[in-house]
A and B are shown apart, each in its own frame.
Chain A
């Protein structure tokens, strides 16, 4: 009678459990509770909780909103792709769109201020990967994702696409600038 054969005892449910196993089961059960607790706990005390506010949108609508945002707050254009650098007021809304194969526009933020980001895609799915801060968010067409970001250090940050989006995927990169 091994694990390859039916149980030795007909009423195996009634067999006692050895204390080694019981000890381990209790330990891992409590550990499971600790891990279960950590996520809601972090929602209360932690500063990194991705908001889930979402709206249905369309590529056309989102593009219009992003262009309006850029028009209002563009301070200069720069970089190889001649992107507008958009500097919204502290605490304001930020629109950024992903499309094949670009993030648009370039955004300039102030360190320590909190911004309301609006993120969507004009075509396929993309991945918003902010480096080297290492924040990674899925970008889905027809859904406008709204969440808050608070930069903690000044510098030039890259937005790399980390959701495969076709043959030019590795060309898809944008910038977020953080100033003091």
Chain B
């Protein structure tokens, strides 16, 4: 009996295109989680279209009740279900596949998957029934039916099991000696995501379990402020899982397409360590204008302990393109500052998606997040549309696009099917990136003008005559946002069609190698050293980084100036 289990657990295949070793059960789990992810992206994205078309005041598609319902469903499906399903797939890939070992306890992994599916489906059913339009944040004492909280708890427990299967797989790999020395950088980054995920889910349990008991009448009262504090350790940290995961995906794509190696293992790993230690503190971003917590608490936490986690992101922002530049220079693209970038495969959605994700996350998501996370500047934007504007840049332009980019590469590897509609796939990241850049910019623009988030009618038609007139520019912003939503949704739908279509109808590859090379050979020491010994000089990336830095500093101080113009507050 023990022997058969052993046998079943050691079914491996080697991918003819990448040379990666796939453990059968691990491969099936990665497929299942990735497919579930895309399904929830499709559902959540559809809801997003309805939200965008309702915010557009001239269209105002849905009634108030439907709008709040759909907004709740949109947030949960994309922000939680799509991303976490995909992240579990990334965790299994980065452990079992990159380390070439069997996955630990596949039965537990399937149990976790089942819990996540049950939780996500149940949550959608409960929300669509109409009594749970409490938004993703479900702030107590606003109450949802018990099944709403229960569905989230089930999903979270499933995801936690997934994290522990990942850690278990690291142990398996070490015991089986399936790798030598330290973990690959990409696996290390995935581990960072898993660590943040454990903190996230434990915080979620600490607050959602009592709230569930309160909703069934077993607990008397939930303190609204304590709820906010603990809920955000769950709600914001879950977005930090995304950051750690998509940065790992950037490194992975740089290695896949260019054979790139990190400029310095020490620097990149220390940057991930800063994430492990401090990234979760940013949960305090949501409490900056709350009563009950001191300015010292707000300043220390919102700055991720003196901006050490911001420093880490800025380091990744340099080393990811820097590692690509170094690899490209080593392979001969040495002329000038930017030949390495011009010669990059811009027609390959895996590259274009990754690069748009990098630039969008940095310039739009990163800068705005840090600026509005300054304790006092937050007064200007808290709960305005600026906030969703910001996180559509981090989580959609950044994380979602990075995951899409990786998916184009994964489908032929995992499913042995060729990608269909290659012409459309070439354009998809640009379309989605453009639409989402618009969404992000126009929502932020409206937020700067004071437009509240999660608000059905900024024209105040139903208030019986007590109104506020937002500037006409706010209405223009919301209309442009609606148009951008349409572009983004076409891009997102194209992705779903291409991926689902490829799984069903893509040419079967079997054991045949594809015509084009699917993974770049790692750049060798000789190649790096051939460039006059200066292979790690990255003038082009440094120039881009300086542009980033100047934009950041300008935008930062401009906002202090805006702040200085408003009423005195103390």
Contacts and interface: CB of A to CB of B under 8 A. Distances in A.
B549 A27 contact: yes
B322 interface: yes
Contacts of B536: 18, 20
A175 B463 CA distance: 13
A124 interface: yes
Contacts of A160: 450, 452, 455, 468
Contact of B265 (A12, A52, A79, A150): A12
A136 B463 contact: no
A15 B536 CA distance: 13
A2 B326 CA distance: 12
Contacts of A3: 184-186, 251-252, 254-255, 260-262, 323
B426 interface: no
A154 interface: no
Contact of A170 (B64, B179, B252): B64
B456 A170 contact: yes
Contact of A141 (B181, B224, B322, B456): B224
Contact of A136 (B252, B381, B457): B381
A123 B143 CA distance: 11
A8 B569 contact: no
Contact of A39 (B265, B303, B523): B303
Interface stretch (A41-49, A66-74, A90-98): A41-49
Contacts of B564: 46-48
Nearest to A136: B382
Contacts of B315: 21, 24-25, 28
Contacts of A47: 564, 568-570
Given A35-B307, A48-B566, A138-B291, A20 B553 contact: no
Given A49-B570, A138-B383, A148-B570, A6 B264 contact: no
A65 to B, nearest CB: 15
B462 to A, nearest CB: 6
Contact of A2 (B291, B375, B523): B523
Contacts of A164: 68, 135, 137, 139, 453-455
Contacts of A134: 380, 384, 448, 450, 566
B172 interface: no
B135 A7 contact: no
A177 interface: no
B261 to A, nearest CB: 5
B376 A50 contact: yes
A33 B266 CA distance: 22
Interface in A1-18: 1-10, 12-13, 15, 17-18
A80 B463 contact: yes
Interface stretch (B293-301, B340-348, B493-501, B509-517): B293-301
B466 interface: yes
Nearest to B254: A3
B564 to A, nearest CB: 7
B299 A140 contact: no
Contacts of A145: 291-292
| Contact-size category for B | 35 or more
Contacts of B525: 8
B568 A48 contact: yes
A137 B539 CA distance: 45
A65 B180 CA distance: 69
B483 interface: no
B228 interface: yes
Contacts of B379: 48, 50, 135-137
Contact of A36 (B185, B289, B303, B380): B303
Interface string B142-172: 1000000000000000000000000000000
A150 B569 contact: yes
A1 B228 CA distance: 45
Given A24-B314, A124-B141, A162-B455, A143 B542 contact: no
B267 interface: yes
A121 to B, nearest CB: 8
B230 interface: no
B410 interface: no
Interface string B546-563: 000100110010001001
Given A4-B184, A134-B566, A127 B382 contact: yes
Given A21-B267, A80-B463, A136-B379, A162 B567 contact: no
A131 B470 CA distance: 9
A24 B254 CA distance: 20
Given A48-B379, A131-B468, A138 B289 contact: yes
Contacts of B176: none
A54 interface: yes
B260 A138 contact: no
Given A80-B464, A163-B383, A129 B452 contact: yes
Interface of B: 64-65, 68, 98, 133, 135, 137, 139, 141-142, 179-186, 223-225, 228, 251-252, 254-256, 259-267, 287-295, 298-299, 303, 306-308, 310-311, 314-315, 318-319, 322-323, 370, 374-376, 378-384, 448-450, 452-458, 460, 462-468, 470-471, 520, 522-523, 525, 536-539, 541-542, 545, 549, 552-553, 556, 560, 563-564, 566-570
20 contacts: A4-B252, A15-B265, A18-B537, A20-B542, A24-B545, A46-B560, A46-B563, A51-B569, A125-B224, A125-B228, A129-B452, A135-B569, A136-B384, A138-B287, A141-B224, A147-B569, A158-B467, A160-B450, A167-B64, A167-B133
